Chain A
Amino acid sequence: MFGLVVGLSWVTASAQDGARLFQRCYACHSLDPAERDLSGPTLRGLFGRRAGTLNGFEYSTAMREAGQRGLTWTTETLDRFLVDPEEMIAGVRMGGVRLRDPADRRTLIHWLQNAAK
């Protein structure tokens, strides 16, 4: 019973931390595909999507070319991207935004796996 309570509280804390970390993305990205006038594409359906291919969004040349080279969003590729987008895709428009802490990235990506379904 104690283990269950501890486990549930960890899940709740993790969800809260994930939602808090999503505030780093919130200005430009939505989880609601109906919100189309933001600077970045919706993150709904992100995992498994080929980079730079969401219909109706005007990507940078750098992001489109990364997709053409085969980049697909997975937990691993998103982790590499968030630590330093410019390092992974030179010329990408969110090149100045970084999430340096590995634990923060893990928490955010874990949260997005559910929230962005």
Chain B
Amino acid sequence: MLRLFITLILVLAAAMAAAQVTVQEYPLPPRLHVHDVWADPAPDGPVWFSAQRSGQLGRLDPKTGKVDLIPLGQDSAPHGVILDTDGSPWLTDGGQNAIVRVDPKTKAVTKWPLPQARGYVNLNTAVFDRAGVHWFTGQNGVYGRLDPRTGDLKVFDAPKGRGPYGIHATPEGVVYYASLAGSYIARIDAATNQATVIEPPTPGQGARRVWSDSTGVVWVSEWNSGQLSRYDPRTGQWREWKAPGARPRAYAVYVDETDKVWVAEWTGQVMLRFDPATERFESFKSSSGTADVRQIHGRKGEVWTPESAADKLVVYRYR
């Protein structure tokens, strides 16, 4: 009887937590192939997104639903978008093989092409460290750095060749990236530019994206294994949790300001929220049958997702 009562309480608590999350969908112009998203940290501020198929930067005003599109140039096909501390969007533009910055006021586009000798690197994702250096990945097997103050751009061969994908920095400014084809994460030493491979416990897991929590613990979405994993740089210890459902595929990961971990899972086409304290997943869904969420970002009380297959930005609001 007591066990039944405790189970009921747990189910009720989970239902109440889920009820505290509301979902709002913002339609985008059709077939942009929205890829990544970045929310301005200001409440109600703009939400920026990369439109890979159309070669544009997008800007959504969440108060009105109005969408502006800024063309980035011939052959543009941007993958990632991030904001610098001044609120300017930066894109990793695979189509142009260039890092691209857009002035949010004038919409002027500035490009830093990769060295021609490097050839096509398939630019993927970027992050700024605390010193303002822009670090990026190229899925063909590189990572690199751009100093926006001097324009100095360097590209390095990644360990184990092709695969570098998602990249993020801890609050202390230490940069980590994930290698999808290489099945590892790496820590970059900003002083030497060296990347040190850190192998997750599951071989061939397909580490796709990484995100740091507020304490510098690194969370990893594993595509091949369908796991969410956690690496603690202080102890070197790993933990792993299989996402719910049959044959899950964990594409993207993001840690919110309460240190709960959000995962985009593709087999069930759901958004998952993982509570590290209880080690339980909650599941949320928009109205889209197939969403194909490729990246996640947020700000206080909000998690934003780009639905590449449904031409939508979707926000999950929580208290």
Contact = CB atoms under 8 A, between A and B. Distances in A.
Interface string B230-266: 0000000000000000000000000000000000000
A104 B246 CA distance: 41
A61 to B, nearest CB: 7
A12 interface: no
A100 B35 contact: no
A24 B120 contact: yes
B199 to A, nearest CB: 15
A27 B139 contact: yes
B189 to A, nearest CB: 25
Contacts of A8: none
A26 B308 contact: no
B181 A38 contact: yes
Contact of B224 (A37, A84, A95, A98): A37
B140 A26 contact: yes
Nearest to B310: A91
Interface in B8-23: none
Interface string B64-95: 00000000000101010000000000000011
B53 interface: yes
Contacts of A90: 31
Contacts of B120: 20, 23-24
A79 interface: no
B119 A100 contact: no
A37 B225 CA distance: 11
Most buried by A among B33, B35, B162: B33
Main SS at interface, chain A = loop
Contacts of B75: 100
Interface in A74-117: 84, 86, 90-91, 93, 95-98, 100
Contacts of A96: 33, 35, 52-53, 77, 79, 308
A26 B122 contact: yes
Contact of B122 (A23, A38, A95): A23
Give the residue among A28, A61, A90, A97 with the most B Cβ atoms within 10 A. A97
Contacts of A28: 139
Contacts of B119: 20, 23
A95 B162 CA distance: 21
A37 B77 contact: no
Interface in B206-230: 206, 223-224
B181 to A, nearest CB: 6
Contacts of B35: 96
B29 to A, nearest CB: 13
Nearest to B289: A61
A95 B77 CA distance: 11
Contacts of A100: 75
B162 A27 contact: yes
A86 to B, nearest CB: 6
B14 to A, nearest CB: 30
A39 interface: yes
Interface string B173-193: 000000011010000000000
A39 B33 CA distance: 17
Contacts of A39: 180-181, 223
A26 B162 contact: yes
Interface in B118-149: 119-120, 122, 139-140
A30 B94 CA distance: 19
Interface of B: 31, 33, 35, 52-53, 75, 77, 79, 94-95, 119-120, 122, 139-140, 162-163, 180-181, 183, 204, 206, 223-224, 290, 292, 308-309
